[in-house]
Structure 1
Amino acid sequence: MENSGKRLRDVLDDRSIPYTTFSSALGIDPQRLNNWFKRGIPKEFLFQAADELNVNARWLYDGTPPAPDEAEVVYEDRLRKEDVLAVMRHGEGNSPGIILEPLHPWDDSTPLDEDEVELPLYKEVELAAGDGRTAVQEVPGRKLRFSYATLRAAGVDPSAAVCATLTGTSMSPLIIPGATIGIDRSSTNIIDSEIYALDHDGMLRVKFVYRLPGGGIRLRSYNSEEHPDEEYTREEIQQKSIKILGWVFWWSTVRRKGQLSLVR
């Protein structure tokens, strides 16, 4: 019976890709790849294998078209991905070094592509009591679209990912005011010097976080001249309702003219 392993082997053979080269790209033992040929590709490796070969993951899984020969990018070129990105950034020879692609407009009625997922958007919301208190809550009906490939590259499970809007200048100019950030809510264990989103008694904050002895934390801003370090003991973390929302894996900004001059 033809299965995903048979289709995988056919693609490798058609493109003359050595099994050892492909298994090395996936970080697995060549013998394990041989087992896949017989039993099928494990689901946890399916998208990675499809990305490496630039084939449709659904086709690789169950044979649903499109066929793999519709892909124009060869595997060997994908192995040189970092070299290609370097040329795009810095240019080579007479090349301008910049590649611009058109934006593709969409709205809420545009269906999701096969490799897209919608992530909920969170922000500080003023509570109805009118006393100025806020809470970090999901904004009903507001979502952002991401490709599964982007999330996989960051090692983020789509079911654990959310987005939020940043205010304030504490992380400028690394992350400027109004930026949208991506948060992995499954990554709340602190790794020193990584960037995390926090709920500080209803205020959404984004900081470099460091562990301190006794269960305390240090919060550091990129704009440290205006926003000095803050340190909290374990007891103060509880008293001030400080919660790690998750690791910040992505940010993006659409800025107005002159906005950067405000954060230099």
Structure 2
Amino acid sequence: MKTFNNRVKSRRDELGLTQLQLAKKVGVSSVTISQWESGDYSPKGKNLYKLADALECSPNWLILGEEKQTKPLSNAEWAGGLETWGSDSPLHDDEVEVPFYMDVELAAGAGICEVREYHGPKLRFAKSTLKKQGVSIDAAACVKVNGNSMEPVLPHGSTVGVDTASTNIIDGKMYAINHDGMLRVKMLYRLPGGGMRLRSYNTDEWPDEHISHDQVQQVKVIGKVFWYSVLI
């Protein structure tokens, strides 16, 4: 059975790239590529998406071996660092303010109890960025991710942007959910008979959870994750 490091090497060989050539495409050293291929450790955050882009495949295929694509199809895109700001900060013509609920966390793991929203700092987004993602300004919100079940894509402490108007499930996309009073972030899949599957990227520690038709009412989809940012 192929693992992440096997898929990296086999895809690199398919494209006829040397480790040095791939390293230049990703923006890392050839030693790093060698370590990824030997299984010493795996890329996280933006490096994972840069690797998928360089290998012309999806991050999902690299991590899980699913749905090999000719180009990366990400659940969210790297958008650089974060800058919190207050009501006294100037707002440029192409900028909008999106609430950043700093004391609300989406648990990448077993979940945490829902807490009251905090109307404080905001994050700056370009109107063009939200328009490109099809996200209404009024429906956008940002929250933190707590836990390791979505690593290496969403390490502990990541911040995600959620489109609260997008609640229809598209198989394999990442969603913020309220699971019986706990806020979580998972990839969702619909199952025959009206059930649902919750999937993590870190499947070694967090296997798939199957929600039956009788239990599916316990899962409320808050919105689809359209953006994320992490500190590596």
TM-score, length-scaled by structure 1: 0.51
What residue in structure 1 maps to residue 65 of structure 2? Answer: none
What residue in structure 2 maps to residue 251 of structure 1? Answer: 228
What residue in structure 1 maps to residue 176 of structure 2? Answer: 197
What residue in structure 1 maps to residue 209 of structure 2? Answer: 230
Which of the residues 150, 166, 189 maps onto 2:145? 166
Which of the residues 77, 99, 119 maps onto 1:140? 119
Instruction: Quote the offset at 1:136 in angstroms.
Output: 4.7
What residue in structure 2 maps to residue 211 of structure 1? Answer: 190
Asked if the contact 2:97–2:123 (Cα under 8 Å) also holds between the matched residues in 1, the reply is yes
**Which structure would you say has the larger Rg?**
1
Asked if the contact 2:199–2:207 (Cα under 8 Å) also holds between the matched residues in 1, the reply is yes
Cα distance in 2, alignment partners of residues 106 and 235 from structure 1? 42
CA-to-aligned-CA distance 1:49-106 (integer Å, 9 cap, x gap):
xxxxxxxxxxxxxxxxxxxxxxxxxxxxxxxxxxxxxxxx849xxxxxxxxxxx9977
What residue in structure 2 maps to residue 181 of structure 1? Answer: 160
Instruction: Quote the offset at 1:254 in angstroms.
Output: 2.4
Cα distance in 1, alignment partners of residues 223 and 83 from structure 2? 30
Cα distance in 2, alignment partners of residues 201 and 104 from structure 1? 31
Cα distance in 2, alignment partners of residues 250 and 137 from structure 1? 23
TM-score, length-scaled by structure 2: 0.58
What residue in structure 1 maps to residue 96 of structure 2? Answer: 117
What residue in structure 2 maps to residue 53 of structure 1? Answer: none
Q: Which amino acid aligns with 1:177?
A: H
| 2:149 equivalent to 1:149 | no
What residue in structure 1 maps to residue 63 of structure 2? Answer: none
Asked if the contact 1:124–1:134 (Cα under 8 Å) also holds between the matched residues in 2, the reply is no
Asked if the contact 1:179–1:251 (Cα under 8 Å) also holds between the matched residues in 2, the reply is yes
Instruction: Quote the offset at 1:107 in angstroms.
Output: 3.9
Evaluate the alpha carbon distance shift between residue 148 and residue 225 of structure 1 in structure 2; reply closer, same or farther with a 3 A threshold: same
Asked if the contact 1:124–1:202 (Cα under 8 Å) also holds between the matched residues in 2, the reply is no
Give the aligned length: 147
Q: Which amino acid aligns with 1:252?
A: S
Evaluate the alpha carbon distance shift between residue 212 and residue 180 of structure 1 in structure 2; reply closer, same or farther with a 3 A threshold: same
Q: Which amino acid aligns with 1:193?
A: G
CA-to-aligned-CA distance 1:189-228 (integer Å, 9 cap, x gap):
1111111111113322111100012211000000001000
Evaluate the alpha carbon distance shift between residue 157 and residue 104 of structure 1 in structure 2; reply closer, same or farther with a 3 A threshold: closer
Cα distance in 2, alignment partners of residues 140 and 169 from structure 1? 26
Gap runs ≥5 in structure 2: 1-23, 27-80, 107-111
Normalized per residue, which structure has more helix? 1
Cα distance in 2, alignment partners of residues 210 and 199 from structure 1? 16
What residue in structure 2 maps to residue 99 of structure 1? Answer: none
Asked if the contact 2:175–2:225 (Cα under 8 Å) also holds between the matched residues in 1, the reply is yes
Q: Which amino acid aligns with 1:220?
A: R
Q: Secondary structure at the match of 1:231?
A: strand
Q: Which amino acid aligns with 1:111?
A: P
Q: Secondary structure at the match of 1:176?
A: coil
Q: Calculate the aligned-residue CA RMSD, in Å.
A: 2.4
